[in-house]
Homo-oligomer: A and B are copies of this chain.
Amino acid sequence: MATKSERTQQRIIDAANQLFYRKGYNRTSFTDVVDEAEVPRGNIYYYFKTKEEMLKAVIKHRMETTTLMLSEWEKSIKTPLDRLERFVQIMYDSTPALLRSGCPMGSLNVELAKDQPELKSDAKQLFDLFQQWLAKQFTQMGYPEEARELSLELLARGQGIIVIAQVYQDPGFLERGTKEINRWLENLDRYA
């Protein structure tokens, strides 16, 4: 079992992860994290000397869980089409959170891109992770040349739909959007 210290660190990362998503990175204070994680004020600095470090730990954590998720999909889902549709599915399944706080990956990148270039390049890794996984699926589907472009297009579609659904608080738009993406994917698959 993990040591108490490891569990404390994980609690901090979990709290920060949630708060960065819900309130955004810049609007989340150490006090917020400390309260959410139920860790005494000063103790948090034992684990993370700066807020940047904390964000990097959060991103690392997201990278790890995402990597795990994608490799499990790879294992358990047979066809590239089904895998791509599984990706679309989590968008649909996450409707309430997306309407509330947007895409965790997209909104973080949009926020950090503004004027925190160093942190942004960390956040970008998350996009890279998805992008490469998606490209792999498109390659297997029969589009090795277009794989990168198709993966970017899929990501762009997702991002756009989420932004608009959030602005208009419209779950229906999200639903129709994901269905439309699936149609597009199925056509690609059919004519591969």
Give A residues with C-beta under 8 Å from B. Answer: 22-24, 26-27, 101-102, 106-107, 109-111, 113-115, 124, 127, 149, 152, 155-161, 163-164, 166-168, 170, 173, 176-177
Contacts and interface: CB of A to CB of B under 8 A. Distances in A.
A97 to B, nearest CB: 12
Contacts of A111: 24, 110-111
Most-contacted residue by chain B among A152, A155, A161, A166 (CB, 10 A): A152
Given A124-B167, A156-B163, A160-B159, A114 B110 contact: no
Determine the main DSSP class of A at the interface with B: helix
A156 B152 contact: no
A173 B160 contact: no
A159 B168 CA distance: 14
Given A101-B114, A107-B110, A159-B164, 9 more contacts: A102-B113, A109-B166, A113-B167, A127-B168, A155-B160, A156-B160, A156-B163, A156-B164, A160-B160
7 contacts: A24-B26, A107-B114, A109-B166, A156-B173, A157-B160, A158-B160, A160-B160
A161 B156 contact: yes
Given A152-B164, A156-B164, A102 B107 contact: no
Nearest to A172: B149
A24 B167 CA distance: 17
Contacts of A102: 110, 113-114
